[in-house]
Amino acid sequence: MSVKTNRESDVLRKIERAFRPQRAGANSSLRVSIGDDAALVRLDSNNEEILTCDWFLESTHFIRDKHPADSIGWKCLARAVSDVAAMGGWPKCFLLSLALPESHTGQWLDQFLGGLRRVSRKLKCPLAGGDTTRRDEILINITVVGAVARGRAVLRSGARPDDIIYVSGSLGEAEAGLRKVRSAQGRVNPKAAELKKHLYPVPRLELGQWLAEKRIASAMMDLSDGLSSDLPRLCEASGVGAKIAAALLPLPKSSSGLERKQSDLLQLALHGGDDYELLFTASRERAKKVPRNFRGLALTQIGEITSARKILLVEGIGQERKLVAGGWDPFRNAATKK
Amino acid sequence: MSVKTNRESDVLRKIERAFRPQRAGANSSLRVSIGDDAALVRLDSNNEEILTCDWFLESTHFIRDKHPADSIGWKCLARAVSDVAAMGGWPKCFLLSLALPESHTGQWLDQFLGGLRRVSRKLKCPLAGGDTTRRDEILINITVVGAVARGRAVLRSGARPDDIIYVSGSLGEAEAGLRKVRSAQGRVNPKAAELKKHLYPVPRLELGQWLAEKRIASAMMDLSDGLSSDLPRLCEASGVGAKIAAALLPLPKSSSGLERKQSDLLQLALHGGDDYELLFTASRERAKKVPRNFRGLALTQIGEITSARKILLVEGIGQERKLVAGGWDPFRNAATKK
C-alpha cells in the first residue's frame, strides 16, 4: 500500500517513525536527533557535539547559469553553519560532498573553491574531508560538525507562553535578491550590494553563542525557509502558539526594486527564505538583557508566545488573522519554479 | 583559464590544494583530512573521531528500476560505515541526506527505510539527523561519525617495503552481482544468494578493530573501487610499490554465471568494485599473528610491499606485468554505463 505524502515534514515524520524505537534505546549519547536544527551528541568532555547536513542542489537551491560559482561555494557552507549558530554552538570542521559535470572541473571549480575557502576561514571551519563524483548536474551536500558547552545548546522546544519573540537583522532581503537573480539575463554580478544577503549570507554565530552562554534564549532556530514556515516549527516543537505584529517586523532595507509598496515588503519579510537570521524567544525577565543592537546587528521584538496553539498575525489596528506558511518547502517549490 | 581534469583524483587534488594552507594552520585537532578513508578529529578524551561521507546516487551507484529499495537503504549506510572499519574504528551515528521524487515517498520510501533501519541496528549506528528535499532523481548522501582509540587509527600511509599484503574475504562477488542486476529484466529478487554481496554488503568492523587494537596492520583501507584501483592508492599514500600474485587472489565463490573461465574470475577479483573487504599490510613479524581465518572470514596473503613504486602483478610461472587500474572511477564510468 502506497501512502502518498507531499510535504517535507511528512517525509521527515516517516523517517522519524522508522527510527524511533532505536533512538529511544541503548544509545543515550544521542541527546537530540531529528526535529531540531541539528543533532546533539554527548562527548566524553565538557562539550556536546553538533551535527548537521544540508543539501545545496542545482535548480532547487541555486541556478547554474545565474549564480556566481564563488557565491555557491560561500553559501553552501554558510547556510549549513547557520544550523550550528541556531543551537548556540561554534563550528569545528566540515565535510564536502560534491558531484560535478566534467565541464565544471576547471574554472567553475576554482571559483567555487575560492568562495568556499573564504567563508571557511571567516567562520574558522576547516575542511575535514568529503566525497566527489561525476554527475550531469551540480550536487552539493555539506556536513558541519560543531560543539557547544554541555547543557547550553538552545533547542527549538524551550519556548513558553508569554515569552517575547525576537529576530535578528532584517527579513526578506535574501528573497528580494533571489528575485533579482531570477529576472537577470545570465550570471549576476557577485558584488552587487542588493544581492549580498542572498549570495553571501553570514551565519549569526556570535549572537547565537552569546544567547546560549548567557542563558537568555529559551528557544532558537535559524530562519532558512521564511518566518511564516519556521515560526510554526519552533512553536510546534515547544507545544505553544505565537502572535506577531506586522508593524514590528524588520522589513528589508534593500530590495530588488521590484517591490514598491509597503505590503510587498511585508510579504517578503513574512515569507522570504534564506535570510539565516536567528529567531529566538526569551522570558520577560531574561528579555531585559536583550539589547536593541548586538555588535551592530539589530535585535527586534516581533511578538509573543501564546498558550493557544495558533500562529496569529496582527495587522492594522489590531485585526488578527491566521498566518499561513508561504515560505520555502522543497516539496512544494524550487529555486527555478517558485 | 579553464584547467580540464577528467579523473576523481584530479578533482580531489584541486580541493586539497585549495585548502592546504588552512589545514596546516591553527586547527591542529584535524589530524587526517583529505587522502584517507575518512577524517580524524582529536577529541578531548581518549578517542579520536572519525568522519566520513559518501554519495549514493541513482544511475551512478544504483539503478532505480532494478535495485530493491530495501537494499539501497542497507547499502548506502553499510558502504559509508566501511570507511570507519577501514580506520579500525567503530560507528557512533549517521546523518541521512535524502532527495526523492514525490512518487517515491510512499512504498519505496518505506522499503528504503526498512533496509536502512536493519543495517543501522546491526552496525549499532543510530540515525542522528539529516536533510530531505524533493528531486526528480533519487539522491542519497550519508555521513558517518565514528571513533577510534587515540593513536590506534590505521591509515593508508603506514605500509613499508617487505610488509605482507592481505585481503579479507573473497574479491569480485559484488561486481558479479552487479552484472546480474544489469542483465535482469526489471527489479531483482533481493533474496537471491548470488546477489547478497552486491545488495547487502557487510563492513568488516570487527576485523578492522582487531587489527587496530592489536597494532597488527601497518596500513589499511577498504576495497570500494576494486583492488587494481585501491591498492595503488594505499601504495601512493605510503610512498611504496607492491607486487601481488594472481594465483593467490581469493576469487569469487559465487558468480553471475556469466563468467565461466578462470581468467574471467581473475578479472573480477582484480577490477571488481563494491566488495567492502579490507586491504591491509603487516610487517613480517606482525604477520605471524594474522590467522588464516578471523571469526569465519578468510584472510589471504596476496603479495608484498616493495620499495620500487610500481604495482606489479605476477602471473603464470613468474611473469610480471604492470597492473593497470580497471576498477571504479566515477569520472570514467557509472553503474549504468560501465
Distance CA(A152)–CA(A154), nearest Å, equals: 6
Mean pLDDT for the stretch of residues B285-310: 98
Gap from B253 CA to chain A (nearest CA, Å): 30
Identify the pLDDT of residue B318: 87
B12 with A55: Cβ contact below 8 A: no
3-state DSSP call for residue A153? Answer: coil
Count of A–B CB contacts within 8 Å? 254
Cell of B125: 549506528
3-state helix/strand/coil string of A248-270: HCCCCCCCCCCCCCHHHHHHHHH
State how far the Cα of B269 lies from the Cα of B247, in Å rounded to an integer. 11
B202, pLDDT greater than 70? yes
The answer to whether the CB atoms of B8 and A53 lie below 8 A apart is no
User: Which of these ranges, A25-29, A211-215, B218-222, B298-302, has the smallest mean pLDDT?
Assistant: A25-29
For chain B, give the mean pLDDT: 87
Q: How far from the centroid of its chain's Cα atoms is residue B186's Cα?
A: 27
Pairwise CB contact (< 8 Å): A95 & B143:
yes
CB contact under 8 A, A57 and B134: no
pLDDT-derived band at B262 (thresholds 50, 70, 90) equals confident
Q: What is the dihedral of CA B98, A122, A31, A228, to 10 degrees?
A: -60
Asked if the Cβ–Cβ distance from A99 to B57 is below 8 Å, we say yes
Q: What is the pTM of this model?
A: 0.89
Rounded to an integer, the average pLDDT of B195-217 is 97
Question: In chain B, which residues have their Cβ closer than 8 Å to the Cβ of A29?
Answer: 92
For the cut 70, the answer to whether the pLDDT of residue B93 exceeds it is yes
Interface predicted TM-score of the whole assembly (ipTM), two decimals: 0.88
Share of chain B above pLDDT 90, in %: 70
Average pLDDT over residues A73-85: 97
pLDDT at A292 over 90: yes
Mean pLDDT to the nearest integer, B13-40: 65
Burial class (CB in 10 A: 0-12, 13-18, 19+), A82: buried
DSSP string covering A87-99 = TT-EEEEEEEEEE
Mean pLDDT of A177-205: 93
Q: Contact B126/A30, CB-based, under 8 Å?
A: yes
A19-72: pLDDT as tens digits = 765 544 444 566 665 667 777 776 656 788 999 999 999 999 999 999 999 999
Residues of B in contact with A118 (CB under 8 A): none
pLDDT score of A254: 59
Higher pLDDT, A34 or B277: B277
Q: Is the pLDDT confidence value at B128 over 80?
A: yes
User: What tens digit of pLDDT does each residue of A310-338 get?
Assistant: 999 999 888 999 999 885 555 444 544 43
Q: Confidence class of residue B130 from pLDDT cuts 50, 70 and 90?
A: confident
CA of B280, closest CA in chain A: separation in Å? Answer: 22
Look up cell 529566538; give the residue.
A280
How confident is the model at residue A29, as a pLDDT?
Answer: 66
Quickly list DSSP for B60-76.
TTB-TTTS-HHHHHHHH
